[in-house]
Amino acid sequence: MSASQRLDAHIAALGLDLDQAQRDKLLAYVALILKWNKVYNLTAIRDEAQAIDLHIADSLTLLPHVAAERLADIGAGAGLPGIVLAICRPDLQVELVDTVDKKCVFMRQAAGTLGLKNVAVHHTRVENFKPAAPFPVITSRAFAELADFVRWTEHLLAEGGHWLAMKGVYPSDEIARLPATVRVSESRPLQVPGLDAERHLIIIEKIAS
């Protein structure tokens, strides 16, 4: 199965409506990750099929759950899921935050190469990140324990906004350690095509005072 066929199968399995230009950009993004990986060690994945399964398809599962027009991706690494979301939602302003310089350099290069005008990259600790306006959605993918994720980003969340935390197995212990100022409004199992592993989306919101 070619990379294009593999991606098409995953998109169909997820029921997503992506045009050919978006599919081409997703494949170009995979190629960029694999090319830079040889020098910069962005991710542990070295195989094209694995990258499509573990990075692209996994990130695409978040797409139906993002209804906002602005989003912050914290600890974005190689740009996952933020760059995938930006490709699929040109109307979504995506701000990528990471402390590792080489990863920020890659994300800027990828956004430029792929023509993503809706992406901004910030090389900073999230605690020091001061955006022009707070975000209705803050996401992370395997970034930190939930309590830390919430504590470090609380100043970035807009009124009525929520956190979308992508996790593996259901993180019951982490949920139990969340601060009393927030609650899990919903948790959803995510089915990642091509991947035989547990994935969960944990949706967290502030408790109204």
- Binding-site positions: 75, 80, 126-127, 141
Among 108, 100, 73, smallest CA distance to 89 is for 73
Contact, 133 vs 158, CB < 8 A?
A: yes
Q: If residue 78 lies in a helix (H) or strand (E), which one and from where to where? A: none
**Residue list for the binding site for S-adenosyl-L-methionine:** 75, 80, 126-127, 141
Residue 153 CA to residue 160 CA, distance in Å, equals: 14
Q: Give backbone dihedrals phi and psi of 151, rounded to 5 degrees, phi first.
A: -65, -45
DSSP annotation string for 112-156 = HHTT-TTEEEEES-GGG---SS-EEEEEEES-S-HHHHHHHHGGG
Longest dimension (CA), the chain: 53
- CA 151, distance to chain mean position in Å, is 19
Could you tell me whether strands 70-74 and 93-98 are parallel, antiparallel, or unpaired per DSSP bridges?
Answer: parallel
Sign (positive or negative) of CA dihedral 47, 53, 56, 58:
negative
Residue 83 CA to residue 112 CA, distance in Å, equals: 11
